[in-house]
Amino acid sequence: MTQPHPDTQWPRWEIFKQDNEKRPYQGVGSVHAGDPDHALLTARNVFVRRPAAVSLWAVREDDILNATPEEVGTHPEVLDTPGEADTYHVGIKKTHKRSMTFVDLVESVEATGPGDALRQAREQHADALAWLVFPDSAIARTDDDPGTVESWFAPAKEKTYKQQQYYGVIGKHVGELKREGRMPRRATEEPHAGDHKVYDHPHDASPAELKTHEVQKPEVQK
Amino acid sequence: MTQPNSHIAPNETAAQHAAFEARIERGEKIEAGDWMPAEYRRQLIRMISQHAHSEVVGMLPEGEWIASAPTLKRKTILMAKVQDEAGHGQYLYHAAETLGATREGMIDALLTRRAKYSSIFNYPTTSWADVGMIGWLVDGAAIKNQTMLAGASYGPYSRAMVRICSEETFHHKQGKEMIVAYAVGTPAQREMAQDALNRWWWPALMMLGPHDADSPNTGIMSKWGVKLKTNDEVRQEFINEHAPELLEAGLTIPDPDLHQDEQGNWKHGPIDWTEFWAVIKGERGLGAERLATRQAAHDDGAWVREALQAYTDRQRAVAAD
Amino acid sequence: MTAPAMTLSDVQQAALIRKLTALADDEIILAQRGGEWTGHAPILEEDIALANIAQDELGHAGLYLELRRALDGSDADALAFTRSADEFTSARFVELPKGDWAFTMLRQYLYDAYEALWLDAARKSVYEPLAEVANKAFREERFHLQHTALWVERLALGTPESMKRTQDALNALWPYVGQLWQPVEGEGGLIEAGLLPDLNAVKTRWEGLIVPHLTVQCGLILPPGGAEQPGRDTHTEDLAPLLDEMQRVYRAHPDTPYW
């Protein structure tokens, strides 16, 4: 898997997405992209095909340090990872429950380097399942002016055809068309299992007919 | 059952394995930096990259119909669906990358046939209704598998699967909606839908993998919390959901032996695995064409990837000065 | 979509229908070309990006054709899938085969800049339904334009091969781009009445945007322009086969009430 070959798929950038102003940025995955601007545009296409987002951060994987409690236990030297002094953003993983996001970014700390930031994260969030830190200077951010937010993130809300709810209940659409008289009433072949007809065709009676039938019934009983 | 000891590498201890397995037993997710058996890593890279390749090659059979979709709406929906498949490949490559595999290496393995992908995508798409039937059956089968994998013990794989499942439901429903409408549509549409079912039913059953007795990789990956159900269990779930709905739609399932047993399970007749293996070996189907298409896209894109890399390197060099 | 906000004369209505159809035709054909990349792009991320652009363009076509439907009751799919090449009013610029990635990105860039600026101006249309559509579509075009401008720059300043391919693409596209500015019959009257943007003003802004980007920023050489442009009834020979493929399912099954 690691043999050298000439192809490049570009560097990898971790993407943090904020769903709305009240939510934390969350680690959603990564993209392969050339430079910060390209990474952000790409992240928008990959992670905001559907709502919702108001902001994206992209950070090169080389600029990120993360560790689990087990890792710190077996490799304590990770807490001495050298680097630049900066404001570091701290992400933590809180639960083993099923989730599509990795860490929530919960705070920032002033640190002498990534190892120090990790040490602080570990002290303040001792029960976290994983810690992740990166310097503020490594972040590529989408602009937060209303024009950018509108142009990058609002249109996804209108792409309702990508939502399963758009397709409603199975057969509902057909029912509607039949009520409008635009659908033939029955399929050519009846369902069979072997020689045995297994199922009465549910579309034989249109909803409109059923309704009439139900209304007429009490009258007959009178 | 497989001998547990055979999965312990020379530099690993039984105690390490026991601790690892206890974590999985407790429902903990394994993260990239955690200790894991080399065999767990190897099997995961194999599974995840194979899954990613399936999404990427899976763009091709349906992608062919984007150009000829019969309404502007269907064209848009199909583009969104195939786009999602690219996205799903992207999420999965990411999951494998956390294990140390590189995108470059994985793509190379696909193109040089060292890695596999699902042979379902080697079947031709011969009519427009295939787009609907693939959505309903192939994506329906995939969702059953993916829902299981969303519970996998490896965190990044599980997260990719949760994200994929949330999007894949749209694929399933747009296909189902299409086929249900065509099944009561014009005679030509009904014929098209039935013909598509005739061709896709058995491949959809087979794509969930060989019978449990013939599935070499299931044992240890089930113990390690990745494969939480067997192929036959997932297949049964798939049939139980889809058989009654297909029949309700007024279509005929091409299996004279299909019946419900006393427990209410829909039981299929014998599967012709010779076809499955023939497609996998490339004796039937479009395997060679699919890989040639991917190879061409890869080759034609090489100068683009180089150009962006060169631009990036130059920008970074300037910034460093 | 609400009913037309203003009463149009017959002449105005006919011209507006022609304009809306021409706008939609460009979008449909360009989206068709964009769709050809799905599954074949240089990297997975760009498969996703281009499919995004193509979906948006198709969405815009739908918006324009919905405006037309409000005027004459016409069906968008019938228009898209039954007209022949002679009846289409797309510009040759969008019909040209997809070419390589440089050609695709450069064409999309020039088109996005044109569309974004036209839409920006159309937001002030006195015809409210159009202003509404323009507001909606403009947001997406703004994003496309950022993406394609970025690509053109990176290809033009990448490797010697990518520079050459980008210059070749510009040389090939430049003679055709002017047809985008060809007015439909009666467009002048609609511009005068404030329904449609002044094409000359939009074109001036467009040139002000793209020329410095292509030349100063990207180091490309602008080919000599100014060739006389034919009207929108003149097509490339690429359009007919494109439509054959696009319309084949629809045409094979006439009188199908629902797809």
pLDDT over threshold 90, residue A46: yes
pLDDT over threshold 70, residue B91: yes
Give contacts of C 84-113 with B, CB under 8 A.
100-101
Other Cβ atoms less than 10 A from the Cβ of A8: the count is 18
Is A189's CB within 8 Å of B244's CB? no
Contacts of B196 in chain C (CB under 8 A): none
Determine what percent of chain B is predicted with pLDDT higher than 70.
98
pLDDT over threshold 60, residue B1: no
Structure tokens at C36: 């050809």
Q: Rounded to whole angstroms, how far apart are CA atoms C133 and C24?
A: 12
Does the CB of C254 have a partner CB in chain B at under 8 Å?
Answer: no
> What residue of C is the nearest CA neighbor of B56?
C39
Contacts of C55 in chain A (CB under 8 A): 159
Mean per-residue pLDDT, B40-57: 97
Q: Give the position of tokens 């794509």.
A: B207
**What is the DSSP secondary-structure string of C19-43?**
HHHHHHHHHHHHHHHHHTTTTTSSS
Three-class SS state of C123: coil
Task: Point out the residue among C49, C139, C154 whose CB comes nearest to the CB of A45.
Answer: C49
Q: pLDDT-based confidence at A179, cuts 50/70/90?
A: low
Q: pLDDT-based confidence at A218, cuts 50/70/90?
A: very low
Q: Rounded to whole angstroms, how far apart are CA atoms A181 and C233?
A: 39
pLDDT over threshold 80, residue A204: no
Q: Report pLDDT for C227.
A: 74
| Selection from C51, C54, C1, C52 nearest residue C28 by Cα | C54
Q: Report pLDDT for C225.
A: 77
Structure tokens at B264: 């209410």
Task: Point out the residue among C58, C100, C101 whose CB comes nearest to the CB of B75.
Answer: C58
pLDDT over threshold 50, residue A189: no
Judge whether B186 lies within some domain. yes
| Selection from C14, B249, C238 nearest residue A186 by Cα | B249
> What residue of A is the nearest CA neighbor of C116?
A151
User: B17 to chain A, minimum CA–CA distance in Å?
Assistant: 14
pTM, 2 dp: 0.91
Contacts of A166 in chain B (CB under 8 A): 170, 173
Q: Report pLDDT for A188.
A: 28
pLDDT over threshold 90, residue A211: no
CATH superfamily of the domain spanning C10-221+235-252: Ferritin, core subunit, four-helix bundle (1.20.1260.10)
Q: What is the 3-class SS of chain B, one letter each residue?
A: CCCHHHHCCCCCCHHHHHHHHHHHHCCCCECCCCCCCHHHHHHHHHHHHHHHHHHHHCHHHHHCCHHHCCCHHHHHHHHHHHHHHHHHHHHHHHHHHCCCCCHHHHHHHHHCCCCCCCHHHHCCCCCCHHHHHHHHHHHHHHHHHHHHHCCCCEHHHHHHHHHHHHHHHHHHHHHHHHHHHHHCCCHHHHHHHHHHHHHHHHHHHHCCCCCHHHCCCHHHHHHCCCCCCCHHHHHHHHHHHHHHHHHHCCCCCCCCCCEECCCCCEECCCCCHHHHHHHHHCCCCCHHHHHHHHHHHHHHHHHHHHHHHHHHHHHHHHHHC
pLDDT over threshold 90, residue B58: yes
Q: What is the pLDDT of residues B193-252, one digit of tens each?
A: 999 999 999 999 999 999 988 876 668 899 999 999 999 999 999 999 999 999 999 999
Determine what percent of chain B is predicted with pLDDT higher than 90.
88
Phi, psi of B305 (to 5 degrees): -65, -40
Judge whether B310 lies within some domain. no
Q: What is the pLDDT of residues B115-169, one digit of tens each?
A: 999 999 999 999 999 999 999 999 999 999 999 999 999 999 999 999 999 999 9
Judge whether B302 lies within some domain. no
Domain limits, chain A: 12-164, 168-221
- Cβ pairs bridging A and C (under 8 Å): 50
Q: Report pLDDT for B7.
A: 85
Give contacts of C 46-75 with B, CB under 8 A.
47-48, 51-52, 54-55, 58-59, 61-62, 65
How many domains does chain B contain in total?
1
Query: What is the pLDDT of chain A when averaged over all its residues?
Result: 80
Q: Report pLDDT for B161.
A: 96
DSSP run (H or E) holding A179: helix A172-179
Q: What is the DSSP letter of A125?
A: T
Mean per-residue pLDDT, B93-110: 97
Domain limits, chain C: 10-221+235-252
Q: What is the pLDDT of residues B260-271, one digit of tens each?
A: 988 889 999 999
Contacts of C161 in chain B (CB under 8 A): 303, 306-307
Structure tokens at A168: 């409603």
3-state helix, strand, coil in chain A (%, to 5): 35, 25, 40
User: B247 to chain A, minimum CA–CA distance in Å?
Assistant: 6
Q: pLDDT-based confidence at A170, cuts 50/70/90?
A: low
Is A174's CB within 8 Å of B28's CB? no
Contacts of C36 in chain B (CB under 8 A): 66-67
pLDDT over threshold 50, residue A101: yes
Top pLDDT among A180 and B281 is at B281
Is B250's CB within 8 Å of A98's CB? no
Mean per-residue pLDDT, A91-103: 95
Q: What is the pLDDT of residues B292-301, one digit of tens each?
A: 999 999 999 9
Residue type, B50: Q
- Each of the 259 residues of chain C gets a pLDDT tens digit; together they read 455 458 899 999 999 999 999 999 999 999 999 999 999 999 999 999 999 999 999 999 999 999 999 999 999 999 999 999 999 999 999 999 999 999 999 999 999 999 999 999 999 999 999 999 999 999 999 999 999 999 999 999 999 999 999 999 999 999 999 999 999 999 999 999 999 999 999 999 999 999 999 999 999 999 997 678 999 999 999 999 999 999 999 999 998 999 9
ipTM of this complex: 0.96
Q: Are A10 and A34 in contact (CB under 8 A)?
A: yes
User: A184 to chain C, minimum CA–CA distance in Å?
Assistant: 10
